[in-house]
């Protein structure tokens, strides 16, 4: 709020904004309130700033209790999963040259499954944070190679275990750096690659490309699988949404695209999708070039930009047919 007020007074004649589901974290639990906040600024007005705090505790609190339980359960799962993944990593080094081809394939599937489970837990935790307006990011300067390398090894493992081919076609030397929270963007790409693998055909190809587009760098994940019917396109980014056909044939939680869009919008970026039923789909994330946001570091003593999950500009996922 303070950052918006400062920016409005420095560079705006008038401006309006709203924040939803803002908790009063100072109060004790039994007195805790949750507000929707609306603000309007008008330069040279007798009162240049007007703010309304609307108490929405009764509306939000039942969901808040559910979200707290979900977050607690997911957090409790994270510990055992981390231990399992750690032991698998150790065993993979110890047994690297001692397993038969069949045993190595089974071991690879164990690693893929544990990584998937870890991804599901991270998605659930981030959904609970986002729905409570507590999803935040530390944005710093990264190359596209940083982003791709953060997911490449696991993506290749997932693809090969599902008899898919992964092709990365990126000439990173011609691309500018981006402002990103690396772990969060890695989660997004993992979700998109995982979907591309699941919804493509056996032996199919999944392509990852990147290009500069204005003040953004677009990273695209393309498959040549079953595609998405026009009838379900508008529901793709809804929480827990899964089409009738995908529920019957493909395992999943229905939250991957929901939280992925939230993360991208939290970076002041955009997510879009193009799809033709029977021919495949292309999901694209657009992330801001670092040079366009680096001025925000001037107000900070840190080397990262603290960014709330709502983003500087509220964008919406785009659907392109």
Angle at CA 253, nearest 5°, toward 91 and 134? 90
What average pLDDT score do residues 260-270 get?
89
What is residue 219's predicted lDDT score, i.e. its pLDDT?
97
The domain defined by 135-320 carries CATH number 3.30.565.10: yes
Q: What's the pTM?
A: 0.67
Is the pLDDT score of 252 beyond 50?
yes
Pick from 122, 188, 113: which is nearest to 158 by CA? Answer: 113
Give the containing element (helix H, strand E) for 44: none
Q: 């929405």: which residue's tokens?
A: 56
Task: Compute how many other C-beta atoms are within 10 angstroms of the C-beta atom of residue 255.
Answer: 21
Starting at the earlier edge strand, list the strands of the sheet with 305-308.
178-180, 136-142, 305-308
Domain boundaries, the chain: 2-55, 135-320
Got the DSSP string for 100-169? -HHHHHHHHHHHHHHHHHHHHHHHHHHHHHHHTT--EEEEEEE-HHHHHHHHHHHHHHHHHHTT-EEEEE
The predicted-structure confidence for 60-70, as pLDDT tens digits, reads as follows: 777 666 666 77
- Asked whether 193 and 167 are in contact (CB, 8 A), the reply is no
Where residue 282 falls among pLDDT bands split at 50, 70, 90? very high
Tokens of residue 292, six digits: 């366009």
Q: What percent of the chain has pLDDT over 70?
A: 80
Q: 């071991």: which residue's tokens?
A: 107
């Amino acid at each position: 709020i303070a950052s918006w007020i400062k920016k409005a007074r420095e560079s705006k004649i008038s401006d309006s904004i709203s924040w939803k589901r803002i908790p009063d974290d100072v109060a004790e639990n039994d007195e805790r309130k949750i507000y929707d906040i609306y603000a309007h600024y008008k330069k040279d007005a007798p009162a240049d700033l007007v703010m309304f705090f609307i108490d929405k505790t009764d509306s939000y609190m039942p969901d808040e209790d559910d979200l707290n339980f979900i977050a607690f359960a997911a957090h409790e799962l994270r510990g055992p999963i981390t231990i399992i993944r750690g032991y698998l990593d150790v065993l993979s080094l110890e047994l690297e040259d001692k397993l038969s081809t069949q045993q190595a394939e089974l071991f690879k599937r164990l690693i893929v499954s544990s990584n998937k489970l870890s991804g599901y837990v991270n998605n659930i935790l981030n959904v609970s944070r986002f729905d409570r307006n507590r999803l935040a990011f530390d944005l710093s300067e990264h190359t596209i190679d940083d982003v791709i390398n953060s997911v490449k090894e696991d993506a290749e493992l997932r693809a090969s275990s599902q008899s898919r081919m992964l092709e990365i076609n990126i000439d990173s030397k011609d691309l500018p750096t981006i402002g990103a929270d690396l772990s969060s963007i890695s989660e997004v790409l993992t979700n998109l690659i995982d979907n591309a693998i699941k919804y493509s055909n056996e032996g199919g190809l999944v392509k990852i490309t990147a290009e500069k587009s204005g003040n953004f760098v677009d990273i695209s994940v393309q498959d040549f699988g079953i595609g998405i019917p026009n009838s379900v396109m508008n529901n793709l980014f809804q929480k827990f949404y899964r089409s009738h056909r995908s529920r019957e044939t493909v395992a999943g939680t229905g939250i991957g695209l929901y939280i992925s869009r939230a993360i991208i919008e939290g970076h002041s970026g955009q997510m879009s999708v193009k799809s033709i039923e029977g021919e495949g789909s292309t999901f694209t994330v657009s992330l801001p070039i670092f040079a366009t946001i680096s001025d925000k570091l001037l107000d900070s003593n840190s080397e990262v930009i603290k960014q709330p999950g709502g983003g500087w500009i509220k964008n919406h996922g785009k659907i392109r047919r």
